[in-house]
Structure 1
């Protein structure tokens, strides 16, 4: 019996985001006889906590939900968290001696790019270090080429799309650095959401006399819901009847809700908030729209493809790969104008989407759960 590899995985929390879902799906499909895993969260919160397999040891720096507001009574708690987490980042020995009980890990794994410095700053010099990059960092504020180059401090850089792979290749200085980059499509469980899509819609009345465009995602500026609502207003003013349904929650929720009221589209645009099961809404909507400013590999398109939706997507990292360069859905310019043209086309020429629907009928996903999990485990085993 070979000894189990000891692995430390770090992520902020298990709140509803693509990277979090992907991590938990991966953990659920890992063989437990090979690994001993500690999952360290900055914040013990999120809907995916209950899905983590029981054999994985969950540790955390703080408990409770994320504090996204600045209400006076919450500021002390928020400040205490920031100071505590900051101190552990600055003096990692405290964390490794205390919370992690001096455990010697074989592999330390940053499950998101934001954990780079925590893992690279580990006092365990002998461990192999891996990072999982879910975003096109060239589009993320503060990530200059020099900042991105710091990721070459890892032994392996797992990237989730061709665009991110190209970015890292372009910054690699030699063959050794290039060898560190490995592209792995996100492990996603298609059967799970096909089954979930058949459940009833609970909190929304679909009006089948007008087309409904659905968009699902964490509500923050990256997702471009502000652009979507402005386009919605413009098209309504031009006499094009349609509805918008936004499913998701996030720190920008109140701002987007206020924008919706300011634009005067409360009757036709709905913000549903967070739901455990967005798939019945997907299934009943007429079109899926991705209005994002940037992405890494938009998991949500994978879900829309699986549910055979008519898709409109801005040209972000991963969109061309997922939609087979526009064979499976309409890819529009990454701007308000692009979104406008896309929705207008759907409203004025719905028949033009038939070719996509035909292609989707017998489409087989090139990326599946088993392949992704096998590829990641083979990296863990080789290190």
Structure 2
């Protein structure tokens, strides 16, 4: 047993600190009153605040803690971090979605906190979102339930015909941010146009020939005026930029920039080594052939029919070639019918990791 003054007077203990002893007993959780519980909570959940206050009151251990926070810049980190909202339609498997995952794994966490907002919170790639990125959905998934259909319809009508109401609701639900990014055309661009703060729109496709976004706007002028609200419009290719300007003449031309999609070499090399039984069977069947691989949705805009016709001509010339299409879409059955009569086509469907196939090309 130690006498009480052992912990408070240096005459009894060289490490004694009366101020620390006194302060710990008034600031800690030894007493369970409301005020003491509040202070204990500040110590637990806001260590920077607790260390700052404690250090100013002469607590030696808190001074050391405060100095540590200061060295790593903790006292400035939260105030310096910028909040970024990124809006995406969903995280179903696709090119833009995969690129977004690459960005979410690589952004500077010292400078930004990222909130990912999905029009519908669904998709195979949700599991690949880093744990420090929060995810919110706006409308329910279209799973056939009547109530979900009604909610989705209401959202669509509000965005198209009563934008003021939706603008108020979205800003209350999502809050403000230092920068808002629409990472896809169409409904995501419409959503971000309603948010407060600087806005950036990403364009991944040829909007002149692939006009799938038009349904989300009342007319062409409505879509054009939406893009006018953005501080920057980013295109992933020069072709996409040209098509945009052909469709929306004289729209934010001084705010356009081309940024090519990033490539994560480390992840590509890692995933290319992960194979399954389907891959091994495919590799054996296509052995000793020139392997052509295409990864993407089998939708009309991809024009896979032209590729299949080109390969059939090569086969007719007795060339040893196989074409493997990785992906699903609305044209899959049409393409299979088009390839009937040839044994050089392989439709392997959706693959979460298509890289081993690409590596064998």
Q: Structure 1 length as normaliser, TM-score? A: 0.61
Cα distance in 2, alignment partners of residues 241 and 22 from structure 1: 34
Q: Please name the residue that 2:266 is paired with.
A: 191
Match in the other structure for 1:346 = none
Separation of aligned partners in 2, 1:110 and 1:99: 15
> Quick check: which one's helix share is greater?
2
Asked whether 1:279 is paired with 2:351, we answer no
Q: 1:139: which partner in 2?
A: 209
CA shift digits 1:330-367 (9 cap, x unpaired): xxxxxxxxxxxxxxxxxxxxxxxxxxxxxxxxxxxxxx
Corresponding residue for 1:290? none
* Secondary structure class of the residue paired with 1:61: strand
Alignment of 1:1-383 (within 5 A): 1=76, 2-64=79-141, 74=144, 76=146, 79-80=149-150, 82-90=152-160, 91=162, 93=165, 97=169, 100-101=172-173, 103-114=175-186, 115-120=188-193, 122=194, 124=195, 126-141=196-211, 149-150=224-225, 151-167=227-243, 173=250, 177-200=252-275, 202-203=277-278, 204=282, 205-260=284-339, 263-265=340-342, 267-285=343-361
Unaligned runs of 5+ in 2: 1-75
**Aligned equivalents of 2:299, 2:156: Cα separation in 1:** 24
Equivalenced residues, count: 270
Distance verdict in 2 for CA 1:241–1:81, change over 3 Å: farther
Cα displacement (A) at 1:220: 1.0
- Give the Cα separation in 2 of the matches to 1:35 and 1:217: 31
TM-score in terms of structure 2 length: 0.65
Q: Cα offset for 1:102? A: 6.3
How far residue 155 of structure 1 moved from its aligned partner, in angstroms, is: 0.9
Change (3 A) 1:104 1:147: closer
**Higher relative contact order, structure no. (Cα contacts within 8 Å, ≥ 6 residues apart):** 1
Q: Tell me, what secondary structure is at the counterpart of 1:276? A: coil
Please provide the CA RMSD for this pair: 3.1
Whether the 8 Å CA contact 1:41–1:61 is kept in 2: the answer is: yes
Which runs of 5 or more residues in structure 1 are unaligned? 68-73, 286-383
Residues 75 and 53 of structure 1, relative CA distance in 2, 3 Å threshold? closer
User: What is the SS of the residue equivalent to 2:102?
Assistant: helix
**What is the rounded CA distance, in whole Å, between the counterparts of 1:82 and 1:258 in structure 2?**
35
State the 1:55 CA deviation: 1.9
Residue-by-residue CA offset, 1:89-115 (whole Å, 9 max, x unaligned) = 245545754795362233222111112
